[in-house]
A and B are shown apart, each in its own frame.
Chain A
Amino acid sequence: MNMLQRRPAPAITLQLLACLVMVVLPHTPHLHPWIWFCFGALTCWRAMAALRHWSMPARWLRLLLALLVFVGVYVTYGRINGQQGGIALLVALLAIKLTETDTLRDHIVAALLAYFVLISQFLFSQELIMVLWLAAGAWLVTATLLSLSHPQSALPYKVSIRHSAMLLLQAAPLMLVFFILFPRIPGPLWGLPSDSGAARSGLTDSMSPGDIGHLVTTDEIAFRVTYAGNAPPPDRSYWRGPVFESFDGRTWRQSADYVTGNVAGLSSRALEPMGTGVEYEVTLEPNRQKWLFTLDMPVQVPADARISRAGFVLAKKEVTERRLYAASSVLNYRLQSALPESERQRNLQLPAQRNPRTRNQAQAWRSQGLTDQQIVNKALQRFRQEPFTYTLQPPTLGIDSIDEFLFDTQRGFCEHFASSFAYQMRAAGIPARIVTGYQGGEFNELGGYYILRQSDAHAWTEVWLQGQGWLRIDPTAAVAPDRIELGLSAALPLGESMATALARRTQEGLWRSLRLRWDWVNNSWYRWVLAYGPELQEEILGRFGIRGWGNMILALTIMGSAFLGALGLVLIWRLQRSRVNDPVQNLWLLFCRKMQRQGLARAPHEGPLDYAERLSAHLPAKARTIRRIARLYIRLRYGHATTDPDERALREFRQAVRAFSAG
């Protein structure tokens, strides 16, 4: 019977099923429950077949199931390819394949598919914990393959586990060569439709009341920062993001030039640094936006990005993958001490006939003959003195949102304060705009870096004063100074902070320390492994004169061949050493090869007498010669306690073997 038609032991089938469950498990978040149900049910069915001899579904049922799966995936995901749809189809079809997995060949196919399912996980996540899980998966699948390949299916688990670990370790150098040299292709992997992570949270290109308040309830990380020197104090760590200059009475938006993408850069003369710069590196989580967060105000930015007109950094492409960039900023500066008239107009624009009370009050301040600076102070003083409350749960506002907030509800989050302050300034004829970004952050002592989360999202204002340029005014600081100094949870009423995800963050002790450690490990994993993308690869390989894909592939081929060649040489050398330089044995092996060509190969454990008998039975005509050769061989090889050259017998043996022809 053909080896591949053999039926493996039930224990090995179960081992394979366990491996498959293990490799499918991490796909859970992007598999529709029905796919899991289908996979689980069919796997159980197959397990029962192995354990209790249940019969497998009939052929027509399998075909029907396969058809249903295609239709189901199409209906659920809208297509049968792409990341999610493709994987769903793969998992479901794998489950159906299991129901016809009977022979050794089928098992091997299923094990190889398990590798494929394993590797497809990287389309979704490259987190360290996932990599560890997948490495364990590869280990077990390899062990299963080893068990499957054993002729009697009798390999003890301990042996197969150890051997598979050794195989993986042996593959590690090759893996390193591939890691370094395989060309990184920028953009979504292999041009697959990127339908993952559509719903990323983060700052957006507009700001309405409640937006940031909603955002801060999530604990997701926005970016991490490592400073080259000392970190600035919390009240100076404002991470500048999108600037909003256009207001429709409710929502702040970017101006038209940003929306069209045809935006001017900030001229180098407009920013006058005062004092030395701060250098830092940012690891930005993908947010599907073009902006890169920098400390207020950036002076040096990555090569593929520039500082835009409103002073925040725009990259050429959206950040779809985690990105590491270096930048430097100055904390003291004077920005645009001369404001062009067009920008002045843009930052004074207000929707007509809305919020009359605020407008009147601002005009009243102006008519009192106050200077711009005094009006700013007046507005801030108002926030301080009147009973404004900083809260995550502000009441809903109607059409005159600014009026209602300033005069009636007086409860709001940072966007309410920033928005109303900017409105007041514009109403009083002072150019003002909204800046959004992040403020504060959590320090990870272990890795020496800051973590900025969505809960650190913030909005503040800038006003333009004659002779001083754009000044950062943070009205939230006037209402809730704790927000700036100690972070969000310190500033919120007790009940609110406990009610949100923030509660977890503020807990001290073991949990926090473990969490920070884990974040450090993950960050290191990213910085040392995942950050090795197209740019870094080009830069590092460029130092060795390897530029462009063609050369990378060439280097990869050379290195790979060199590695395999070296491995081959070592193996040949070991084989040479193990093969005794023994003319008798070599002649015997020659004889065995001659017989092998007749389809009568000697089994490795078959002794010369047994072999000669078997051969004689197959080739009765040659029996006499075969027996004579065996007799001579036995005499030469086993007839002497020491290697005693019996020249005559050796000559006879040589002649006999050379003259022998089985055909």
Chain B
Amino acid sequence: MNSSLQEVLDQANQIILGKEKAIRLALCCLLARGHLLIEDIPGVGKTTLAHTLARVLGLEFQRIQFTSDLLPGDILGVSVYEQQGQQGRFVFHQGPIFAHLVLADEVNRASPKTQSALLEAMEERQITSDGVTRPLPDPFFVIATQNPQYQIGTFPLPESQLDRFLMRIEIGYPPEDAERALLGARARRDVLKEIQPCMNAGQLMAVQKQVENITCSSALLDYILAIIRHTRESGHFSEGLSPRAGLALRHAAQAWALLNDRSMALPEDVQAILPAVVNHRLQPADHDSPDTHAMADQLLRAVAIP
């Protein structure tokens, strides 16, 4: 594998202990040019994960704390009238979204209007303000976090907007030995400051290019198609996967193959990223279904590899 990628993973694992799979998936998501949704209870390291990734990848980082009174202008930026001698003119002041990696913290606490401003920027990779279209930096990622509990006074993202996140991951409690190490060590924030970037934005874009060149054979596409068809036709899900979800599966599988140092994507790659890619896009047909993890697992077992 690209040695710098291995370094990125190693560094990140030093900051966030015992969460190799989550970090690998998060990196995979960024390599596939996708936005990431992290859903978990407070205090498990959602924000730290975003920070760490920005730091080790050498990306410009902005954090927006979403609140109910946050306005679209607070994210995108505003035009301000400036007096210069005799003449005055409007000058656009960029909002925090103009960064490589934007952390939208507790995205479900903002009003739908503000959420949709963010989600539109995520999709278009550009913003339009006062009739002027301004491109966002490249690379551009949004890592949004949301808290699944205490939903009072929040605006949960609707299914249509969840689809714009390539992956949704959960972090969960650390394993016991990792937690012991965490308790004994220095504050993560201090450790983070000392970490040296392993990459820069340009190198990251080159890696993204490599991801696109990972081979997807027709046999693999058949497998992805079979999975999608099963979600649409089996009756186990209230709605099937969208074509965008199909593309997401393909890109994520390619990125996962690259992370595993392969030049071709395999069914195993699809299976590895399947839960993260489909769990937030599927609803079980009968709601007394056990839980969403079992859902992806069931889907995986139900579809034979062609």
Cβ B266 vs Cβ A156 within 8 A:
no
Residues of B within 8 A of A157 (CB): 286
| Selected interface stretch from A331-339, A440-448, A487-495, A603-611 | A603-611
Cβ A609 vs Cβ B266 within 8 A:
yes
Evaluate whether A605 and B304 lie within 8 angstroms (CB atoms) in the complex, with A159-B235, A634-B264 already known.
Answer: yes
Cβ A640 vs Cβ B235 within 8 A:
no
Cβ A607 vs Cβ B219 within 8 A:
no
- Cβ of B288 to closest chain A Cβ, rounded Å: 9
B221-265 near A? 1/0 per residue, CB < 8 Å: 000000000000011100000000000000000000000000111
Complex Cα spacing A442 to B300, Å: 66
Residues of B within 8 A of A152 (CB): 298
Residues of A within 8 A of B305 (CB): 604-607
Complex Cα spacing A606 to B271, Å: 9
Is B216 part of the contact surface with A, judged by Cβ < 8 Å?
yes
Evaluate whether A604 and B219 lie within 8 angstroms (CB atoms) in the complex, with A154-B298, A156-B236, A638-B266 already known.
Answer: no
How many chain B residues touch the partner (CB < 8 A)?
26
Residues of B within 8 A of A156 (CB): 235-236, 285-286
- Cβ of B247 to closest chain A Cβ, rounded Å: 16
Is A162 part of the contact surface with B, judged by Cβ < 8 Å?
yes
Cβ A162 vs Cβ B217 within 8 A:
no
Is B72 part of the contact surface with A, judged by Cβ < 8 Å?
no
- Cβ of A459 to closest chain B Cβ, rounded Å: 65
State which of B220, B235, B264 has its C-beta within 8 Å of the C-beta of A162. B235
Evaluate whether A158 and B289 lie within 8 angstroms (CB atoms) in the complex, with A607-B266, A638-B266, A642-B218 already known.
Answer: no
Residues of B within 8 A of A342 (CB): none
Is A173 part of the contact surface with B, judged by Cβ < 8 Å?
no
Cβ A641 vs Cβ B268 within 8 A:
no
How many chain A residues touch the partner (CB < 8 A)?
25
Q: Which residue of B is nearest A162, CB measured?
A: B235
Is B200 part of the contact surface with A, judged by Cβ < 8 Å?
no
Chain A, 144-179, CB within 8 A of any chain B CB: 152, 154, 156-159, 162
Residues of B within 8 A of A385 (CB): none
Residues of B within 8 A of A605 (CB): 271, 300-305
Evaluate whether A158 and B219 lie within 8 angstroms (CB atoms) in the complex, with A605-B303, A605-B304, A607-B267 already known.
Answer: no
Is B196 part of the contact surface with A, judged by Cβ < 8 Å?
no
Evaluate whether A638 and B215 lie within 8 angstroms (CB atoms) in the complex, with A605-B303, A605-B304 already known.
Answer: yes
- Cβ of B84 to closest chain A Cβ, rounded Å: 56
Complex Cα spacing A159 to B216, Å: 33
State which of B236, B266, B304 has its C-beta within 8 Å of the C-beta of A634. B266
Residues of B within 8 A of A7 (CB): none
Q: Which residue of A is nearest B217, CB measured?
A: A638
Complex Cα spacing A552 to B138, Å: 80
Is A620 part of the contact surface with B, judged by Cβ < 8 Å?
no
Q: 19 more A-B contacts (CB under 8 A) besides A608-B266, A637-B217, A640-B217?
A: A154-B289, A154-B298, A157-B286, A159-B234, A159-B236, A162-B235, A603-B301, A605-B303, A605-B304, A605-B305, A607-B266, A607-B271, A607-B305, A608-B268, A609-B268, A610-B268, A638-B217, A641-B216, A643-B218
Chain A residues in contact with chain B, CB under 8 A? 152, 154, 156-159, 162, 585, 603-610, 634-635, 637-643
10 A-B pairs with least C-beta separation: A604-B304, A607-B267, A607-B268, A159-B235, A638-B217, A638-B264, A609-B268, A156-B286, A637-B219, A639-B264
